[in-house]
Amino acid sequence: KAGVTQTPRYLIKTRGQQVTLSCSPISGHRSVSWYQQTPGQGLQFLFEYFSETQRNKGNFPGRFSGRQFSNSRSEMNVSTLELGDSALYLCASNTRETGGANIQYFGAGTRLSVL
Amino acid sequence: AQKVTQAQTEISVVEKEDVTLDCVYETRDTTYYLFWYKQPPSGELVFLIRRNSFDEQNEISGRYSWNFQKSTSSFNFTITASQVVDSAVYFCALRGNTGNQFYFGTGTSLTVIP
């Protein structure tokens, strides 16, 4: 079955602009998590959505927001972009596997460059 | 608090050598889950393995093997007879008993030299 699809793959924006990233999870998966990956901070958790509700949120400013639609597709939005927002944004599709632990399957990411 | 430490930032080996990637974790949860992911240059994190805290049995999958030791809070990953295609950044991750947040280590960049 199809994997996790993230669009676009690359984005170039300027400071002060806003951006919306999209993620389509694996069919049947209802939970989506977002991560920011930078060389300095590594992989940092942004938030998780399950059945259109934000279930968990990382330590990021309010400029970072997200939502999930009824078909489980998710978007994340960053407003008033700053240079430090340049990063690879990864979306993970979560499923409950046997034993009670979720496995996160990742998309290829959206690489955002803020100029 | 949940924390994962991968002390090895970069490793280079010659093809066919064995290599072990170290992972040390911290958690207060009695039930937790450990993961390894591979990130090739394309950027996508590829799931390799999940281990539950109550299952310390080591696992082997082809050239890959994992050694889980609760006594030392370690979950090390060994690649036997390394190949150039193994070149990537490898991440160890921890998920606690509640919530779905994964805590990732800083990654180990492995270069296999032909």
Task: Judge: B43–A105 Cβ closer than 8 Å, yes or no.
Answer: no
pLDDT tens digits along B60-77:
889 999 999 999 999 999
Cα separation of B31 and B43, whole Å?
A: 30
**DSSP SS3 for B72:** helix
| Confidence band of A97 (pLDDT split at 50, 70, 90) | low
**Predicted confidence band at A77 (pLDDT cuts at 50, 70, 90)?**
very high
Residues in Cβ contact with B59 at an 8 Å cutoff, skipping those fewer than 6 apart:
B49, B51, B65, B66
Q: Binning pLDDT at 50, 70 and 90, where does residue B27 land?
A: very high
pLDDT at A90 over 90: yes
Task: Check: CB of residue A74 under 8 Å from CB of residue A26.
Answer: no
Q: B37: which chain A residues are within 8 Å (Cβ-Cβ)?
A: 106
Above 70 in pLDDT, residue A99? no
Query: For the segment A11-42, what is each residue's pLDDT rounded down to a tens digit?
Result: 999 999 999 999 999 998 889 999 999 998 89
- B interface with A, Cβ–Cβ below 8 Å: 33, 35, 37, 42-47, 50, 52, 91, 95, 99-107
Q: Is the pLDDT of residue A102 over 70?
A: yes
For chain A, positions 28-67, list CB contacts with chain B under 8 A: 31, 33, 35, 42-43, 45, 48, 50, 55-56, 58
Extended beta strands in A25-86, E state: 31-38, 42-50, 53-57, 64-68, 74-78
Q: Which structure tokens are listed for A12?
A: 């170039």
Q: Which tokens in the block code for residue A99?
A: 């034993």
Which of A33, A90, A105 is the closest to B100 by Cβ?
A33
pLDDT at B94: 95
